[in-house]
Amino acid sequence: MKLYDISLSISPDLPVYPGDPPVSLTPLSAIARGDRYNVTSLTMTTHSGTHLDAVRHCDDGGETVDQVPLSLLIGPVRVVEAFQSRDIDASTLSRLPVRGHERVLLKTGNSLLWGKPGFQGDMAHLTPDGAEYLVNCGVKLVGIDSLSVEFFDGDGTVHRRLLGGGVLILEGLNLSGIAPGDYELICLPLKIADGDGAPCRAILRRHEGKTGGEPLDPHSSKWPLA
């Protein structure tokens, strides 16, 4: 069995969405200055780093993060590559093997940007018709390797369509070292009462003997999208 950590490390250097406060780690007590224990205060938003968006993110009456069934957050997941397109629309997704999978992670060129400082605005993202396509495919969770599944100056249409259509959103993934293929996702957000979202530790698990890639054919995640 092999485990892959696809979470971002929480630190003051973590890129944040424009308008959000930076992550802050403030020592409250420290052994180095004579205290008995090291204790640190952590300040961040519910949508910093690797995090889950609950329906409450876009709907005041929607399901909160502490109400999300754990069964949706643990189970088989398909990782697909979409390097060739910045706008991941229905046409792009129709060429990727996402049908028949409840959980889908989108590996894009965004994973190559995590080493750069600050927020990267020119990121690959889902379009409204791409969101519609995933809803119609029966996807229950979609993840992406950026801080937002939607373009950073979008109007929220993609979020509302996904969350309103029963699709949880997992953002801020680091998929740079992950090959396309099938894994088991384990993603546990903090249990924040009435939370609109929550940071989470997301990992992929694969049992030995299973490979990440698939033969190159019209249904492969590596098939040219042009």
pLDDT tens, position by position, 58-93: 999 999 999 999 999 999 999 999 987 789 999 999
183: β partners: 77
Q: Beta 103-107 vs 74-81: how paired, if at all?
A: parallel
- Per-domain residue ranges of the chain: 2-9+45-206
For residue 146, which of 170, 179, 130, 116 has the smallest C-alpha distance?
170
- Position 214 scores a pLDDT of 43
Per-residue confidence band for 111, with pLDDT thresholds at 50, 70 and 90: confident
Q: How distant is the alpha carbon of residue 50 from its chain centre?
A: 6
Fold of 2-9+45-206: Glucose Oxidase; domain 1 (3.50.30)
Contact assessment for residue 121 and residue 16, using Cβ atoms and an 8 Å cutoff = no
Tell me the per-residue pLDDT of 1-47, one tens digit each, with 9 for 90 and over.
999 999 999 999 998 888 899 999 999 999 999 999 999 999 999 99
Mean pLDDT over 92-103 rounds to 96
pLDDT at 223: 35
Q: Is the pLDDT reported for residue 137 higher than 90?
A: yes
Q: How much is the pLDDT for 225?
A: 33
Q: Active-site residue 219, yes or no?
A: no
- Cβ neighbours, 10 Å, residue 199: 23
Helix (H, G, I), strand (E, B) or coil at 129: helix
Tell me the average pLDDT across 151-167.
92
Q: Which of 57, 101, 125, 159 is catalytic?
A: 57
> pLDDT tier at 160 (50, 70, 90 boundaries)?
very high
SS3 content of the chain, % helix, strand, coil (to 5): 15, 25, 55
Reported as half-sphere exposure (CB side, CA atoms, 13 A), residue 219 has a value of 7
Q: What pLDDT is stored for residue 208 in this prediction?
A: 73
d(CA 188, CA 219): 30
